Amino acid sequence: MRLLLDNNLSIRLGAVLEKEGWDVAHVRSLGLHAASDRVVLDRARADGRVLVSADTDFGGLLAASHEPGPSVVLVRRVANRRAEELAGILLANLPPIADDLDHGCIVVVGDDSLRIRLLPIG
């Protein structure tokens, strides 16, 4: 699975996921640390990556645009979490929904919850 981590997630999270064999890029490593949400979303689409963020604005952008992708994973309650803990949540929850992510969806993942909304919305 190819992921793009948003600026609000630690670059260390990417390193932990890469150790597990995942293909991960971080917006900072791509020079997009000050880019708008639209630019980040467009980059995820162009690179064929699932965008992982704690920013709910991405869901709104996709809903308003009626676009079929890219998939976005919204991680809830990330404050004060270690990268290893967030990686564990992603590693446990994303592989079982890989087909949905490949086809385009918004996923909200929390400690004990997982919600999937297929794209396009509307």
pLDDT (tens digit per residue) in 1-42 = 899 999 999 999 999 999 999 999 999 999 999 999 999 999
pLDDT band (50, 70, 90) for residue 93: very high
The structural domain count of the chain equals 1
Query: What's residue 75's pLDDT?
Result: 94
Domain holding 80: CATH number? 3.40.50
pTM of the full structure:
0.96
> What is the per-residue DSSP string for 54-66?
S-THHHHHHHHHT
Q: In what order do the strands lie in the sheet with 114-118?
A: 23-26, 2-5, 50-53, 72-75, 105-109, 114-118
Tally of helices (H runs) and strands (E runs) in the chain = 5, 6
Give the residues across from 109 on adjacent strands. 75, 114
Residue 98 lies in domain: 2-118
The amino acid sitting at 104 is G
